[in-house]
Amino acid sequence: MWENALLLMTAASVAGNTPINWLDLGLTPGIELGFFTLRWYSLAYLAGIVLGYWHLTRMLKSPGAPLAQRHADDLFFYCTLGIILGGRLGYSIFYAPELWSDPAEVFKVWNGGMSFHGGLVGVLIAMAWVSWRGGLNFLRVADYIAVCVPFGMLFGRLANFVNGELWGRVTDAGLPWAMVFPDAGPLPRHPSQLYEAALEGALLIVIMLWLFWKSRARYRPGLLVGVFTTGIALGRFVVEFFREPDAQLMEFAARTGLSMGQWLTIPLIVLGLFVTIRALMRPELASGKPVVD
């Protein structure tokens, strides 16, 4: 599936004038199993969580780990709940408040609609709970989780593209990778899902893995989570200039000059910079052995 899509996108880029038709890429919303469709979006969430858990387990075997494997197991469970419940509640509060007219609709996650900011709050609550119950340093736990989150962001944004949803703003047809998405009209648009996958996913994966494995960032409490927060917030803020606002928030974006996603991201940029600078100004921890389970 992806091979055909990449070939068509490359051919369209060479042509340079004709926008790519998303329908011609041959993408499907999921795997048909007869009695139901296993959606790529669900698989993306699962892949991101499982890969993040696997990498966290590897990180715990390196010197200086602030938590044990049993804590990682708890985090795997509670963070999964936080992502799903927080993401859905955040979407219904900030992007689709009309869902509350029928509260049952709020929890129908299979109908689509998840908020990054809501999922982030859910994960923070999960980490706070596990840290408090296990007597762990919350900031250092957040550092380790922050290294793993970009995996999920990458898969999630690629799934958005495969679903043909959350498309970008209208652009010039001369843009080599401009696309016409179904349900978005005949005009070419930015494939903003791929921009987000690159900035919030691939780029942050490289940065966070380098910081953890090739530097002593793990010994500066708050540095990893600060860099992650700043990076993902800046990436989201930039991409929002190319991403079409949700239909129900078009008037809000036009009136305020920024999209809802950008307004929600500004506090994250400030917080990320504060945590990063504070971590750099404080003395580095002495290296130690991993916590023994």
pLDDT digits (tens, 9 = 90+) for 228-277: 999 999 999 999 999 998 777 788 888 888 888 899 899 999 999 999 99
Considering the domain boundaries, does residue 84 fall inside one? yes
Considering the domain boundaries, does residue 72 fall inside one? yes
Express as a percent the part of the chain with pLDDT over 90: 55
Better pLDDT: 192 or 246? 192
DSSP string, the chain: -HHHHHHHHHHHHHH-SSPEEGGGGT--SEEE-SSSEEEHHHHHHHHHHHHHHHHHHHHTTSTT-SS-HHHHHHHHHHHHHIIIIIHHHHHHHHT-GGGGGSHHHHT-GGG----HHHHHHHHHHHHHHHHHHHT--HHHHHHHHHHHHHHHHHHHHHHHHHHT-S-B-B--TTSTT-EE-TTS-SS-B--HHHHHIIIIIIIHHHHHHHHHHHSSGGGSTTHHHHHHHHHHHHHHHHHTTTBPPPGGGHHHHHHHSS-HHHHHHHHHHHHHHHHHHHHHHSPPPPP-PPPP-
Arithmetic mean of pLDDT, 72-85: 91
Considering the domain boundaries, does residue 161 fall inside one? yes
Considering the domain boundaries, does residue 192 fall inside one? yes
Residue 165 banded pLDDT, cuts 50, 70, 90: confident
Residue 110 has pLDDT above 70, yes or no: no
Considering the domain boundaries, does residue 127 fall inside one? yes
pLDDT at res. 7: 47
Considering the domain boundaries, does residue 287 fall inside one? no
The alpha carbon torsion through 75, 89, 227, 151 (nearest 10 deg) reads 60
Give the domain range for residue 117. 39-281
Tokens (6 digits) for 106: 């709020």
Considering the domain boundaries, does residue 25 fall inside one? no
Arithmetic mean of pLDDT, 66-92: 89
Better pLDDT: 89 or 51? 51
Better pLDDT: 119 or 132? 132
Q: pLDDT tens across 20-66, in order?
A: 999 999 888 777 777 667 777 778 888 999 999 999 999 999 988 99
Between CA 146 and CA 263 the distance in angstroms is 22
> How many structural domains is the chain composed of?
1
Tokens (6 digits) for 218: 């793990």
Q: Which residues contact 196 (CB under 8 A, 6 or more apart)?
A: 153, 157, 160, 235, 236, 239, 243
97-101, 185-189, 199-203, 253-257: the lowest-pLDDT one = 97-101
